[in-house]
Amino acid sequence: MAEVLRMQDITKIYPNGFMANKDVNLVIREGEIHALVGENGAGKTTLMKILFGMEDFQGGQVLLDGKDACISSPLDAIAKGIGMVHQHFMQVPSLSVAENVTLGIEPGQGLLFDKKKAAQITQEISDRYQLKVNANERIADMGVGLRQKVEILKALVRKCRILILDEPTAVLTPQETQELFVQLKALKKDGIAIIFISHKLEEVMALCDRVTVLRAGRTVGTDVIENLNPTKISRMMVGRDVVLEIEKEPAAPTELVLQVEDIHYKNAENIMTVNGVTFGIRRGEVVGIAGVEGNGQNEVAELISGMLPLTQGEIRICGKSIRGKSVRRIRDMGMAYISEDRMVYGCAANLPIRENMMADRIHSQKYRKFGLFIDTKKINQDIDGLIETFEVACDDRAQPVRMLSGGNIQKVIVAREFSSGAHLILANQPTRGIDVGTTEMIRKTLVRKAREEGVAVLLVSSDLNEVLEVSDRLLVMKDGKIVAHFEDASLVSEELLGEYMLGVRQMTSEEMGEMV
Amino acid sequence: MLDTIVKFLFSVIRVSTPLVFGAVAACVTRKAGLLNLAIESMMLASALTGVLVSGATQSLLLGMLAGFAAAIAITMIISYSAFVLKCDLYLVSIAMNTALVGGTVFVMYLFTQQKANTAGAIPSLFVGSMELPLIKNIPLLGGILSGHNVLTYVAFLMVFLVWFLLYKTKIGLRIRSVGENPQAAESVGISPRRIYFLSFGMSGFIAALGGMYMSMGYLTWFARDMIAGRGMISMSAMNIAVGEPVSATLAAMMFGTADALSNYMQLGKFPSELISMFPYVCTVAILVLMAVIRTVKATAERNKI
Amino acid sequence: MKETRKIEFGFEIFRIIVALAIAYGITLLCIMIISDDPFQAVYMFAVGPFTSIRRLGQLFGKFIPYLLTGAGMCFVYASNRFNLIGEGVYLMSGCLVAYVAVQLGGAGIPHILFVLLLLVVGALTGALFGSVPALLREKMNINETVVSIMMNWAMLYLATYLVKTKMYDNSITYMASKPIPQEARLTALIPRTQLHTGIFVGIIAVAVTALIFYRTALGYDIRICGANPKFAKASGINMTATLILAQVMGAALAGLGGAVDILGIYDRYMWTALTNMGFDGLIVAVLSKKNPVFIPLGAFLLAYMRTGASILNYTTEIPIEFVDIMQAVIILLIAAEHFLGGFKEKLIFRASKEKNKEVA
C-alpha cells in the first residue's frame, strides 16, 4: 500500500519551554486504520495539531505522498485532504447540520449562501455512507452520537484522504461505538487513511491495522496489529514492566467522614451524568473510583467539593450536610480538593508559587497580624517549608507557576491540599500527565495521609494501576452509576476491573453490599 | 399642533440617522462575538477626513472615499493591536476614542489653524437632501418621511443590507459561526482573526457613513468632539437588541427620539440634561431587565426538570 | 528555569522602554514637522516642565490626581474587570464636593475638619456610584464595561444639571458653580503653584493600596480572582464579595481623586465634559503593570507628558491634543502581549534548547 503521510523527526517546544514532541516519527499508508496511542500528555494531541496546521513546530518535516508539505493552517490541511474529528465537537449549535457541514465551503452563487444546495450535498454524503443524519436538523437539538457523525460528514464533504479521530469513542455508548466502527471500516474500503487516537486498547485491537506508540513526547515504535497484544502495547505506553507498587498496611477504618446518599446531577446538555450514587468513606481508608473518563466520576468529585451545586440527594461531611454551602464553607468543614484540570482549577499560572499555595488559607487566623494584616514572615516560612517538604523544583517562592514543569506545578497544588489539615481529601486524577517520581510521591502521600493521619481519601482516577495500587476499597462507575464495589482493591485484577469499566460485567446490589 | 408633531417626527429621523448607522455597524461585530466600543472614533475620523478631502479636491466622491478609508484604517489599527498583538480589545478601543478626540482637533488645526471647527476655513462639500416621489404627496407622512438627507435613506437601506449580509450570505454565515464558536470555524479553515478584521472593517465602513452624515449632511462642517457620545449610544442600542439589526434600529430610533426631545426642550426652560441622560439610564435599565428575565427563565427551566 | 524567568523579566522592562521610546519618538517627530521653530518646540515639550517652579507645580497638579485614579484603576485592572466607572465618578465627586463645600462654607468649620469631611464625601460618592456596575456585574452578570460607560455619560449630564439648577453663579458669564470657600481648599505647598497638600492624600492612598495588595488577605484574593477566576472558586475564595469590593474601592479612590483635584486646583466646579481622568488612571495602572508600587512612576510619566504638551500649547501654537495620540500609542504597545513577543520566544526557545542539550 502506498504511503500517504510521513511525519519525520517532528520537534515541538512550547513558548514556556515545554518540549511536547521530540523527534517523533509517524508513517500512514493509504486505506489503513492507524492507531496512535500513548498516555495523557504523551504528545499525541500536539502531533495531530501540527499535522492539522494548528501548531507550528521547530524541527522535522511533514511529507504528503512523499513530497514536503508545508501545512500552514487548518485550511491548508483540509485543502491537502486532511480531516480532523476533534474530541470536543467543533460545531455551531444554533446552525443546522447542513450549515455546519458546509461552513467554509458554502455552496451558492457569488456571495449568496444557498441553503437548499447545502442541505442536498450534506444529505447525499450522509446517505452514501449511511451515517443517518438529517441535514436540516439543528445541532442544538441533536444527541452526542449524531453530532459526532456530523463531524465525520464535515471531513467527508471536503473529500479528505486522511481522517484524524481524536478519542472518538470517549463520548459514545457501546452500540454507537460498534456502529462507528462499521462506518470507519467502510471508509477504509474507500481508500481513506484513518488515524485513530485512543486510550482503549481493546478498541485499537478490534479496529486498527497498525499502531504507533508515543511516550513522553517521543516515538516508542510502530508495528502491525498482528504482532501486538494489549499487554505489549500497554508496556510500550507506560514503559515499565513492573507497576509502581506501594507498600501499605491493611486499612483500619473508623468513623464515617463522607456520606454520599443517592445523588443525581444533570449537566448543561440535560444529560443525567450522575444517576443515583451512594457510598461512604471512613477515617483511615482510601476509596478509589475507577471508570472510563466521562462516566460521572468527575461530577461526583465536583459535587462533593461544592464546585457543582447539589440539587438532588445528600452529601455529608463529618455528619453535616454540604447542601447550599460555598466552597469556602465546605473547605472549612475539612475538605481538600485536587482538581482534575490543574491549569484551570488548580492554580493561577501567572501568579507566584506563594499566592498559589496560600489561595485556600490566606484568611485563616493563623496568618493574621494586627487584625487586618497578614503575617508575611509566617507565610514565607510555611511556604518555604512546603517547597522543601514536597521538593518543588523552583527558583524561589516568588516564581510564577507557569514557569514550572507539569510535575512541579502539581507538587505546588498537592503541597497546598495535603497541608490544609483536611479530614477528607478528594484527589481527582492527581497524577495525570506528570513524571514518575512525582506520581510515586503523590500516591504514597495519599496512603500515608489515610494511615498515619486518619484522613478519609477519595481517589478518582482513570489510571487502572493507580486505583488498584492506592485504594483500599474500589468503586467502578459507568454511565453515572456505580456498577461494582470491591471490598479489597488488592484482590482485583486489571482485566476484571476493565470488564466492569467497559460494561461487560455488572454487579447486582447484593454483590456490591453495603458501600461504606 | 399637527405641524409641530410632523416637524418633531421629521427631526427624530434626522437625529436618529447617525445612531442607526452606528447601531448596525455595532451589530456586525457583535455577531462576530465582539463588542465594538470604538464606533465613536471611527465616526470622528471619517467626519473630519470627509470634510478635509472634499474641501481640498472639491469632489464629493473623493471626500467620501477618504472618509471610508479613514474609518477603515482605524478599524485596522484596532484589529491589528487586538488580534495580532493581543492587546485587550476594550482597552485599544477606548484608547482609540481618546486618541481620535484629540487627534482630530490636532489634524484640524494643522489644516485650518482653528481648534473649534472647520466652518469658513474649508469649503467642504456635503450630501444633499432628497424628496421622495409619491410619498412626499401623502399628507403628514410625506412631511415626516420625505425631504431627508440622502444618507438618511442610505441608513435605513443599510439596516436591510446588514440583515441580508448576516443571514443570507456566506460571509454572514461565517461571521455568525465565528461569533458563536470560533474554534468550530477555525477547524474548517475559517480564520476567526480574519473574520474579526473583516467585521471590524465593515463596521468601520458603516460607521463612516454615520460620521460623514454628521459633518457633511446634518452639519456642513467639522466641529471638535462633534460625535459627542453618539458612538456609545449606538453601541448600547445594539447591545439591548443583542445584535439584531432591525431591533437595534428601533432602539436607536428610541434614543433618537430622546435626543430630538432634548433639542426641543433646550428652547424652553426645562433642563435638557435630564433628557440627554435618558439613553444612558435607559440602556442600563433595559440591561437589568433583560438580566432579570434571563434569571427568571433559567430558574423556571431548572424547576421544570 | 531561572534562565526563562530572567529573560521574561528583563524583557518586560525592555518592552516598556521601547514602547515609551517609540511613542516619544513619534511625538517629537510630529512636533518637529509642524513647528516653525522645531528645536524650541521640542525643548519646551521635553524640558519645559522643569524650567520653572510654576511649571513644575503644574506637573504636580496633574501628578496628584493620577496617583489616586491610578491606584483606583489598579484595583479594577488587577481584578480583571474592565470597569471604567472611574471616569464618571471623578467628575461626579468633584461636583458633589463643590456643592457640599459651597453649602457649608462660612459655617465656621475648621479647615482640616472641613477638608477631611469633603474628602469623605468624594470617596463616598465614588463608592456609591461605583457600586452600581460592580453589583450588576457580580450579581447579575451584566457587562460592566457597557454599564460603566453608560453611567459615565449619565453622570456628566447629571452633574451639569446639578450645576445649572442648584449651584449656578449668576455673576459670571461661563457655566460654573459658586466659588468654593477658601477654608475648604487644599493649601498650596509652594505658594502660587499647583503643588498642594493633596499630594499627601495621594501618597497615602498609593501606600494603602500597596499595603492592601501585598499585606492583606483581600489583596491575595483580588489577584487570584483576576488571574484565574475558576481557580479562585475552587480555592473557596468568595469571588462575588472580593470583586465587588475591589471595584467599589477603585471607584472610591477615583472619587477621592476628583475631590482632591477640585479642592486643590479649581476655585469653582466647572467641568462640562468628561475629564478623561479615569482613563488616564487606567493608563497609569497599565504602565505600572498592576503593581501599586509602580504607580508613582507611571503617574509621574503621564503628568510629565501632559504638562510638556500643555506648555507647548501656550508657548507655541501647537495644540495640546497631540498627547492623546501619543498616549494611545503607549497603551497599544505596552498592553500588547505580542509586541516584540516573537523575539522573546526566540530567546526562550534558544535557552531551553541549550538546557535540553546539557541534559542529553
Domain residues of chain C, as ranges? 64-294
Cell of B36: 465594538
Please check the confidence at residue A242 and state whether its pLDDT lies above 50.
no
Q: Among partner residues B98, B283, B284, which is closest to C327 by beta-carbon distance?
A: B98
Indicate the pLDDT class of residue A131, thresholds 50, 70 and 90: confident
For the residues B173-182, what does the mean pLDDT come to?
A: 94
Share of chain C above pLDDT 70, in %: 92
**What does the alpha-carbon distance between residue A451 and residue A463 come to, in Å, rounded to a whole number?**
22
Cβ <8 Å between B102 and C323: yes
**What does the alpha-carbon distance between residue A159 and residue A153 come to, in Å, rounded to a whole number?**
10
SS3 helix, strand, coil % of chain B, rounded to 5? 75, 0, 20
**What does the alpha-carbon distance between residue B36 and residue B94 come to, in Å, rounded to a whole number?**
10
Q: Is the pLDDT higher at A152 or at A294?
A: A152
Tens digits of residue pLDDT in B25-64: 999 999 999 999 999 999 999 999 999 999 999 999 999 9
For the residues B178-204, what does the mean pLDDT come to?
A: 92
DSSP classification of residue A490: G
Cβ <8 Å between C5 and A344: no
Which candidate, A309, A299, A307, A292, places its Cα nearest to that of A277? A299
**What does the alpha-carbon distance between residue A44 and residue A87 come to, in Å, rounded to a whole number?**
12
Indicate the pLDDT class of residue C359, thresholds 50, 70 and 90: very low
Tens digits of residue pLDDT in C182-230: 888 888 888 888 888 899 999 999 999 999 999 999 999 999 999 999 9
Cβ <8 Å between C227 and A351: yes
Number of H helices, E strands in chain A: 17, 22
Range of lowest pLDDT (B219-233, C3-17, C284-298): C3-17
User: Whole-number mean pLDDT of chain A?
Assistant: 87
Tens digits of residue pLDDT in C101-156: 999 987 888 889 999 999 999 999 999 999 999 999 999 999 899 899 999 999 99
Chain C CB contacts of A328 under 8 Å are: 236-238
For position C2, what pLDDT does the model report? Answer: 60
Q: Which whole-number Å values give the CA distances from A493 to A463, A497, B86, in the listed order?
A: 13, 6, 51
Instruction: Indicate if the alpha-carbon torsion angle A365, A366, A371, A372 is positive or negative.
Output: negative
Chain A CB contacts of C227 under 8 Å are: 348-351, 355
Tens digits of residue pLDDT in C2-51: 666 677 777 778 888 888 888 888 888 878 777 778 888 888 888 888 98
Indicate the pLDDT class of residue C348, thresholds 50, 70 and 90: low
Cell of A59: 524541527
For A71: left if phi > 0, alpha if psi spans -120 to 50, otherwise beta; the answer is beta
Residues of A with CB under 8 A from a CB of C: 13, 15-17, 19, 58, 305, 307, 326-332, 337, 339, 344-351, 355, 358-360, 362-363, 367, 372-374, 376, 393-395, 399-400, 403-404
Cβ <8 Å between B305 and A90: no
List own/partner pairs for A183-192 with CB under 8 A and 24 or more apart.
Answer: A183/A129, A183/A130, A183/A131, A183/A152, A184/A33, A185/A33, A186/A129, A186/A130, A187/A129, A187/A156, A187/A163, A188/A31, A188/A32, A188/A33, A189/A31, A190/A31, A191/A30, A191/A31, A191/A161, A192/A31, A192/A160, A192/A161, A192/A162, A192/A163
Chain A CB contacts of C213 under 8 Å are: none
Cβ <8 Å between C231 and A330: no
**What does the alpha-carbon distance between residue C49 and residue C57 come to, in Å, rounded to a whole number?**
9
How is the beta sheet containing A335-338 ordered, strand by strand? A335-338, A424-428, A456-460, A286-290, A473-478, A481-486
- Which amino acid, one-letter code, is at C249? M
Cβ <8 Å between C150 and B281: yes
Backbone angles phi, psi at A431, to 5 degrees: -120, 20
Cβ <8 Å between B102 and C321: yes
For the residues A500-507, what does the mean pLDDT come to?
A: 76
Chain C CB contacts of B115 under 8 Å are: 319
**What does the alpha-carbon distance between residue B15 and residue B21 come to, in Å, rounded to a whole number?**
11
For position C357, what pLDDT does the model report? Answer: 54
Strands (E) in A250-311, as ranges, are 256-266, 272-282, 286-290
Chain B CB contacts of A117 under 8 Å are: none
Cβ <8 Å between A359 and C352: no
Cβ C285 vs Cβ B94: under 8 Å = no
- Please give, rounded to a whole number of angstroms, the shortest distance from the CA of B305 to a CA of chain A: 9
- Please give, rounded to a whole number of angstroms, the shortest distance from the CA of B170 to a CA of chain A: 5
Q: Which of A374, A396, A435 is most worth mutating to test chain C (most C CB atoms within 10 A of its CB)?
A: A374
CB atoms within 10 A of CB A494: 16
User: Whole-number mean pLDDT of chain C?
Assistant: 87
Backbone angles phi, psi at C24, to 5 degrees: -65, -40
- Please give, rounded to a whole number of angstroms, the shortest distance from the CA of C109 to a CA of chain B: 33
Q: Which of B169, B170, B242 is most worth mutating to test chain A (most A CB atoms within 10 A of its CB)?
A: B170
Chain C CB contacts of A17 under 8 Å are: 4, 348-349, 351-352, 355
Cβ <8 Å between A73 and B187: no
For the residues A1-20, what does the mean pLDDT come to?
A: 82
Strands (E) in A309-391, as ranges, are 312-317, 320-321, 335-338, 368-369, 373-374
**What does the alpha-carbon distance between residue A28 and residue B198 come to, in Å, rounded to a whole number?**
38
For position B150, what pLDDT does the model report? Answer: 95
For the residues A339-350, what does the mean pLDDT come to?
A: 90
C233–chain A Cβ distance below 8 A for any pair: yes
Cβ <8 Å between C234 and A345: yes
Chain C CB contacts of B77 under 8 Å are: 332
CATH of domain B2-304: 1.10.3470
**What does the alpha-carbon distance between residue B173 and residue B178 come to, in Å, rounded to a whole number?**
9
Cβ <8 Å between B273 and C161: yes
Chains that touch B (3 or more CB pairs under 8 A): A, C
For position B191, what pLDDT does the model report? Answer: 87
Cβ <8 Å between B90 and C321: no
Tens digits of residue pLDDT in C232-287: 999 999 999 999 999 999 999 999 999 999 999 998 998 988 888 988 999 899 88
Q: Which of A103, A159, A165 is most worth mutating to test chain B (most B CB atoms within 10 A of its CB)?
A: A103
For position A368, what pLDDT does the model report? Answer: 87
Q: Among partner residues B170, B184, B187, which is closest to A108 by beta-carbon distance?
A: B170
Q: Which of C231, C289, C357 is most worth mutating to test chain A (most A CB atoms within 10 A of its CB)?
A: C231
Cβ A503 vs Cβ A478: under 8 Å = yes
Indicate the pLDDT class of residue B259, thresholds 50, 70 and 90: confident
Chains that touch A (3 or more CB pairs under 8 A): B, C
CA of A118: which chain B residue's CA is closest?
B170
Q: Is B88 helix (H, G, I), strand (E, B) or coil?
A: coil
Burial-class residue A507 by CB neighbours within 10 Å (0-12, 13-18, 19+). middle
CA of B179: which chain A residue's CA is closest?
A92
For position B217, what pLDDT does the model report? Answer: 92
Cell of B301: 427551566
For the residues A234-247, what does the mean pLDDT come to?
A: 62
For position A41, what pLDDT does the model report? Answer: 63
- Please give, rounded to a whole number of angstroms, the shortest distance from the CA of C246 to a CA of chain B: 19
User: H-helix or E-strand containing A213?
Assistant: strand A210-215
C-alpha triplet C52, C57, C58: angle, nearest 5°? 100
Chain C CB contacts of B94 under 8 Å are: 84, 279, 282
Please check the confidence at residue A452 and state whether its pLDDT lies above 70.
yes
For position A241, what pLDDT does the model report? Answer: 38
CA of B180: which chain A residue's CA is closest?
A92
For position A237, what pLDDT does the model report? Answer: 72
The residue assigned the cell 500500500 is A1
C273–chain A Cβ distance below 8 A for any pair: no
How is the beta sheet containing A272-282 ordered, strand by strand? A272-282, A256-266, A312-317, A320-321
CB atoms within 10 A of CB B121: 16
For position C345, what pLDDT does the model report? Answer: 64
Which candidate, A363, A365, A362, A305, places its Cα nearest to that of A331? A305
For the residues B88-99, what does the mean pLDDT come to?
A: 89
Q: Among partner residues B35, B37, B81, which is closest to C336 by beta-carbon distance?
A: B81
- Which amino acid, one-letter code, is at A301? A
For A67: left if phi > 0, alpha if psi spans -120 to 50, otherwise beta; the answer is beta
Cβ <8 Å between C331 and B101: no
Half-sphere exposure of C334 (CA within 13 A, CB side): 25
ipTM for the whole complex: 0.85
Chain C CB contacts of A15 under 8 Å are: 345, 348-349
Q: CB under 8 Å to A232, separation ≥6 — which residues?
A: none
The residue assigned the cell 482485566 is A495
Q: Is the pLDDT higher at A240 or at A85?
A: A85
Please check the confidence at residue B108 and state whether its pLDDT lies above 50.
yes
pTM: 0.84
Q: Is B244 helix (H, G, I), strand (E, B) or coil?
A: coil
Cβ <8 Å between A358 and C220: yes
Residue A83's DSSP bridge partners are A163
- Please give, rounded to a whole number of angstroms, the shortest distance from the CA of A30 to a CA of chain C: 36
Instruction: Indicate if the alpha-carbon torsion angle A286, A287, A292, A297 is positive or negative.
Output: negative
Indicate the pLDDT class of residue A394, thresholds 50, 70 and 90: confident
Q: Among partner residues C4, C234, C349, which is closest to A337 by beta-carbon distance?
A: C234
Number of H helices, E strands in chain B: 12, 2
Q: Among partner residues A90, A108, A113, which is closest to B184 by beta-carbon distance?
A: A90
- Please give, rounded to a whole number of angstroms, the shortest distance from the CA of A306 to a CA of chain C: 8
Please check the confidence at residue C336 and state whether its pLDDT lies above 80.
no
Backbone angles phi, psi at B234, to 5 degrees: -60, -45
Rg of the Cα atoms in chain C: 22
Which candidate, A393, B257, B244, A11, places its Cα nearest to that of C360? A11
CB atoms within 10 A of CB A72: 10
Cβ B186 vs Cβ A74: under 8 Å = yes
The residue assigned the cell 510638556 is C308
C234–chain A Cβ distance below 8 A for any pair: yes
The gap from C-alpha A272 to its chain's centroid, in whole angstroms, comes to 19
Cβ <8 Å between C234 and A307: yes
DSSP classification of residue C168: B
Helix B2-31 with B230-240: angle, nearest 10 deg: 70
What is the pairing mode between strands A312-317 and A320-321? Answer: antiparallel
For the residues B143-147, what does the mean pLDDT come to?
A: 89
A73–chain B Cβ distance below 8 A for any pair: yes
Cβ <8 Å between B274 and C157: yes
Chain B CB contacts of C141 under 8 Å are: 291
